[in-house]
Amino acid sequence: MAAARFDELIHAPTRLAIVALLAASEWAEFKFIRDSVGLSDSALSKQLTTLERAGYVEIRKGFVGKRPRTSARLSKAGRAAFERHVAALQQVLAGSGASLLPQ
């Protein structure tokens, strides 16, 4: 298990949703993230830029045929930060005596 460390940047609800989605993926397409998280294009761009500046996310821009296509993935640092953040959340929960079993 990763060492626990709360990450304020990741903990913001929309960023947590984005990072959680990316943690289960190798790559995720911009539209898929947008629809899954329920953000507008501009709001998602802003959040991805914040995560990219922190070194947590890598953005890939390309084309499928003539259509532009943007994908994102967690960087190694982002994945490690997410795992530490999850461990911190679990620690808070464990400290309270509660548990959240995998469903």
Partner 1 sequence: MSEQVRPDEAARALADIRQHQRQVIDLAMLPTWYWWVVAALVVGLSATVDAARQRPVVIALAAVAFTLGISGVTGLVVLGAWQRAQWRNQLLGRRGVLAILGFVGLAVGTTLGIAFALQAVGVRPSATLASLVGAALLITGGPVLTRILRRIMLDNQARGR
Residue 6 engages partner 1 in binding (rule: CB under 8 A): yes
Asked if 55 and 75 count as a contact pair (C-beta separation under 8 A), the reply is yes
Single-letter amino acid, residue 6: F
Q: Is 3 in the site for partner 1 (CB under 8 A)?
A: no
**Structure tokens, 90:** 């679990």
The yes or no reply on residue 21 touching partner 1 (CB under 8 A) is yes
**Alpha-carbon gap, residue 24 to 8, rounded angstroms:** 20
Q: How far is the CB of 8 from partner 1 (least distance, A)?
A: 6
Q: What is the sign of the dihedral through the CA atoms of 88, 19, 16 and 52?
A: positive
User: Is residue 43 within the footprint of partner 1 (CB under 8 A)?
Assistant: no
The secondary structure of residue 40, as a DSSP letter, is -
Residue 96 engages partner 1 in binding (rule: CB under 8 A): yes
Chain residues binding partner 1 by CB under 8 A are 1-2, 4-6, 8, 11, 13, 16-17, 20-21, 23-29, 31-33, 36-37, 64, 83, 86, 88-93, 95-96, 98, 100, 102-103
